[in-house]
Structure 1
Amino acid sequence: MQRRLLGSQGLEVSALGLGTMMMPDNDESVRTIQGALDLGVTMFDTADLYGDYTLGQFGGNEKTLGRALRGRRDEAIVATKFGVTHTQGPKGDPAYIKKSVDASLYSLGLDHIDLYYQHRPDPNTPIEDTVGTLADLVKQGKIRYIGLSEAPADLIRRAHAVHPLSAVQTEYSLWSREVEDEVLPVLGELGIGLVPYSPLGRGFLAGQIKTFEDLPADDYRRYYERFQGDNFAKNVEIVSLIEQLAAQKGVTPAQLGLAWLLSRSERIVPIPGTKRLERVRENLGALDVELSAEDLAGIERISPKGAAAGGRFGAF
């Protein structure tokens, strides 16, 4: 398994991780996580908010991951997040963080968290107070490394000045490239790793979704702009071109999209999410894909910055 460094504090992880956000609390999820471990994946991403949203459940995903890692803790790097609840906006005040970290440690069944992210910036708490509290948790041994999620460049600078950040998590894929404007250059300058979530456009770029009806009736993606109406039709056209390029190279569209991300920087570690072990195996095949200058130019023609129709999110 190829490995990469996140940040400059010594956090080493597999070059591809596994996002567990949409995993239900069942035996298949446990088998998928344990199978990923067997394949050499070490980076596992969750959050205190994650649960089976199709059932209206917010929370519980940490317990699933903890159950899967029982007896194999030393093989895994566990990343989780605090700071967003189902009923409240972003939070980052010291009291909330101290309560949240203890709750996550309990849910995961761990004595420490490897990488602890603020899920979203809190507009009501100075980032210096938030990161200062996280730095105290590092000293206490409750967490090892600090990260931010969906944070702008200026906030990243301020946070990093208080305590070195190891990673920033944000959406990044062939059709969500906003991070390239300001955030990615700052991360490169400061030596901070980037952990892209939804690296396959919430499954769209994997080529499995051809019509809106392919999405189950309870699928959250039905509410996202890129999966609706004219946006959907335009985005399917982009994916069809990506499929053609992937076929020419003898790889899957998912492998092509992940290989492109991996080529952007040695400090990028995507965390594609899936419930199924066969998808984990497919995604790991991206590590063996070599992209030539011609390949990269072809990808750029197909999916330049801003190519996707519709915004990243939608109304729920």
Structure 2
Amino acid sequence: MAAVVAAELPERSRLLLVDGMAILFRAYFATAYGGSVRRTSAGLPVNAVHGFVRYFMDAIRKFEPTHVACCWDLGSGTFRSEEFSLYKANRPDAPDDLIPQFDLVKEVVASFGVPNIGAPGYEADDCIGTLARLHGQEHEVFVLTGDHDLLQLVDERISVIIMKKGHGNYMLYTPDSLMEERGLTPPQIIDVKGLMGDASDNYPGVKGIGEKTAMKLVQEYGSIDEILANLDGISKTIRAKIEADLDMLHLSRRLATIHCEAPVLLAMNDCCWAVDRHAVERKFEELEFRSLISLIS
């Protein structure tokens, strides 16, 4: 499917919800793999923030939102890690030269007049899901991310923009395009993850069931609940695996589910895309991002 350009989008009020940490990490590793990290003349690392701005502004140009907000993980434990202590426990610590950029990128986002949103005990995904459901009732919502877990949010008013390899490449997911590409409805994204688990988030699903089998089961039966209601019709080998791991199946499905009732609010009047060029220029000058000033002209 071809990359989406702004001209293909309808002219209506649209809210862009940005998965801040996903884009920041993408920007960091896209520029740090060669071992050279961009720094200011004072030695402050800024490569991830610089890359973030480029990704961010490219998406603004392509999708032309009328309103923008950026959601963040807060770096503390969440209700998922309380329920399953190994949740994301396999992830390495952030690189030392990325850590100071966590606060810095939020300062840059704020200079654009864009709200930074997060909630203790919840992930950015939960904040995005909550705001998407809230504002999707009256506005068109786009979610910008590299995280395929967010595809479960897709509906007639919520589209998910997945950043692809290479700068400026996107896949825009709607219910139709998700079904066309994967043969799944948005809720079935959760059920597939419940069965197969998620190595990145470090929850196992059902031992011995991989993506291919999980997809086949969900497509055939529709949901985990229907699979469990029809175990007699499933092969003895797969049935035995599911029955041996029922508790973990239910836990994995809960861990995979985005919580759309996080304690966050966003007034549309507070996130209008109306950039104060001088405020952004001041921040860019501070960070020695002079080459990026043309992006806001």
Report the TM-score when normalising by structure 2: 0.31
Question: Based on CA coordinates, which of the two structures has the bigger radius of gyration?
Answer: 2
Report the TM-score when normalising by structure 1: 0.29
Structure with a larger share of its residues in helix: 2
Higher RCO (C-alpha 8 Å, min separation 6): 2
